[in-house]
Structure 1
């Protein structure tokens, strides 16, 4: 574990946190549940950001690349490079900006400046991508978009630890996860209707993301850091990327479990449109529509499973077993997809994966919030944890491109890709079992 380099509470502060001027002081764990207005704004912000951010990952970037290149192998290779470069920015940006938000002394609060500034940078970069005329320009634009999005997302995620009492963890985590996936559904629906309008394909989701995050920033009771932290040096900056997994083993196991399921998911979703075009034989527009329908099926099942799992988890206090079971089920779904050759089969697998991921996303964040090393540095620690989202997003496009090219001539090796993804997901289920602090 990285030892915090500063303290946000005065020495004479009481051991139990109390509200000051309607807000908690920085680093104080809340005891009262948040209002429906706050929770609703939080959910809408999550929805908006993921409409803007995952639209390109799911469909839009593949459609953009397809306007620039003709060969199927060149397209998958270029898509892997563009998304991989952006995911490198996500890896660096999330941890770095999470740490900086912990230390921000703005009169507008610690998190609010990064939430608003980051989402505006992301929107500007998406506008640039819409008009880009080459693969290197796409990569540069996506790199900047991911930096902005992760500056926003790191600060936004830290507000979960800042603002929520433990008894709301799973229910609110379920709602946040549901809104994330509803955002993915909305992004796919928007993309399916704007396949011939590149400007709208990127800017409509960007506008939704800006509205959602700005609205949340308005209602967020973001406390001001009253005590200036120690000077930022290279050692402190490097500490933004590290929590000692030997000293904080539960956090380390949770990190690896998240890493593995995200790697499994992105090995498939990065190349989903190409899978439908190359394996199933659909045209670009039909493939985009099939993805939109598949995500609709996935999301409906996810919403029902996720909400039920969140309620059960908060009432029973059980997190670990639900996370392990759902991650294993996700791997089964990916393995079945490896032998799917019809659109109907694709929809069935989407339903299985929706069930698995609905349970997972509603409970896993609740588990993570319970094993955070230090509540005063929640932005930094959650930034480190979010590296488990960002690193596999960086690795998946490159690894996926390599797997698709093994033994491939005219047709990419989708069976190898999907079986690899299935094995990775099952490994993620096993890694969570040694966690001791959470049932």
Structure 2
């Protein structure tokens, strides 16, 4: 996008303009002179409908289920689960993002995938809760990955569809704070470590209730009047393949996000076992520790997330705060490396909470700013979003390999630091966004 041109035109006007430019938006600044509060509320609920329940179920309750079924093979089971789930999510995110771009229905182009995905996701939670073997549980989560990524790819594109460039920082903040608030669901899930089946049922209910609220708030209308995709080689290439023109910064943002999530995954994926097998807490102490660390991360993430988004709109800065926040995600991992105590994980929670709050608040706006083509926003944002799933394959392989090689969870912390630092460098290399 011609960010520099937009910045020059903005300097001639008294009204503040975000660093995003018109080509990435279906709504212009003139068409949306006031902040769309209702849409922002819907975006806030978005991650809570899929990421919150799925993350809590997959990263908290399922490892406990594995521990109950096969204590000796739990680490390998988690690694296998994450790998299969991430591969399924990678494919699903791309496919459903592309399909939602070209879908024309009386309910809009995103809503059918959101509603269908959430219903299937909830039903699969019930299936997983009653599965008796590790292969059945993994198969269930693979299917969840398809459903959740149909939802995720469609939801994330709503910002491009419905939000004008001038409000992108604030809207991204709402999405990011919602993402941070997913930790509330993690706290709730951690209270069910003694009864993970009941916890899975509750997560299914949370997903459906919040999903209904999201759909009502977004109130997507019919898009039957939108032009349909032409069936020709150029259109197929544009809508169903990787972007190839004017996409340098887009791929830097993609790679930076991937490394950022890999760095966080190295620690986050094994947080339950870090408390039990590295810090050596019993089950009750672990429940308290996970809840405490998550609460700390939640509060700091919300506070700094709420601050960061509006400031990004006001000052027109996205790249630097995103890159710096990624650096601090790595810095957070230094403390539990040197100090294998619960308090060090709490420090990790404070620093990573602040960093993730800033990152989650602004990253969405940065992604929109580097989009090559607004007409393929669902597919292109889906590709960026799949960094959240692809990175789990890489992060799991790295963390699992390190744990196996060194025989300790301690080694995952320096790996997290180095990977996060590399991700920050990629964000700094982006040129057309300040």
Q: TM-score, normalised by structure 1?
A: 0.88
CA distance in 1, matches of 2:164, 2:413: 39
* 146 and 80 in structure 1: CA distance in 2 versus 1, 3 angstrom threshold: same
Which 10-residue stretch deviates more, 37-46 or 91-100? Answer: 37-46
How many residue pairs were aligned?
407
Residue 59 of structure 1 aligns to a residue whose secondary structure is: helix
Structure with greater proportional helix content: 2
Residue 417 of structure 1 aligns to a residue whose secondary structure is: helix
Q: Which residue of 2 aligns with 1:339?
A: 338
Q: Which residue of 1 aligns with 2:283?
A: 284
C-alpha contact (below 8 Å) 2:44/2:175 kept by paired residues: yes
Q: Which residue of 1 aligns with 2:173?
A: 174
* 191 and 237 in structure 1: CA distance in 2 versus 1, 3 angstrom threshold: farther
CA distance in 1, matches of 2:342, 2:157: 39
Q: Which residue of 1 aligns with 2:159?
A: 160
Q: Does 1:240 align with 2:240?
A: yes
**Structure 2, unaligned runs of 5 or more:** 2-23
* 232 and 100 in structure 1: CA distance in 2 versus 1, 3 angstrom threshold: farther
CA distance in 1, matches of 2:282, 2:236: 51
Q: Which residue of 2 aligns with 1:28?
A: 26
* 161 and 344 in structure 1: CA distance in 2 versus 1, 3 angstrom threshold: same
Residue 338 of structure 1 aligns to a residue whose secondary structure is: helix
Deviations 1:369-388 (A, max 9, x none): 11111111111111111122
1:8-19, aligned counterparts within 5 Å? none
Identify which of 192, 195, 212 aligns with 1:194. Answer: 192
* 346 and 238 in structure 1: CA distance in 2 versus 1, 3 angstrom threshold: same
Post-superposition offset of 1:239: 5.6
Q: Which residue of 2 aligns with 1:208?
A: 206
Q: Which residue of 1 aligns with 2:357?
A: 358
C-alpha contact (below 8 Å) 1:241/1:384 kept by paired residues: no
Q: Which residue of 2 aligns with 1:437?
A: 432
C-alpha contact (below 8 Å) 2:126/2:201 kept by paired residues: yes
CA distance in 1, matches of 2:94, 2:344: 39
Post-superposition offset of 1:238: 9.6
1:291-310, aligned counterparts within 5 Å? 291-310=290-309
Over the aligned positions, Cα root-mean-square deviation in angstroms equals: 2.2
**Structure 1, unaligned runs of 5 or more:** 2-25
Residue 117 of structure 1 aligns to a residue whose secondary structure is: helix
1:57-206, aligned counterparts within 5 Å? 57-71=58-72, 74-184=73-183, 186-206=184-204
Post-superposition offset of 1:429: 0.7
Q: Which residue of 2 aligns with 1:51?
A: 52
C-alpha contact (below 8 Å) 1:30/1:163 kept by paired residues: no
Q: TM-score, normalised by structure 2?
A: 0.89
Identify which of 413, 421, 425 aligns with 1:418. Answer: 413
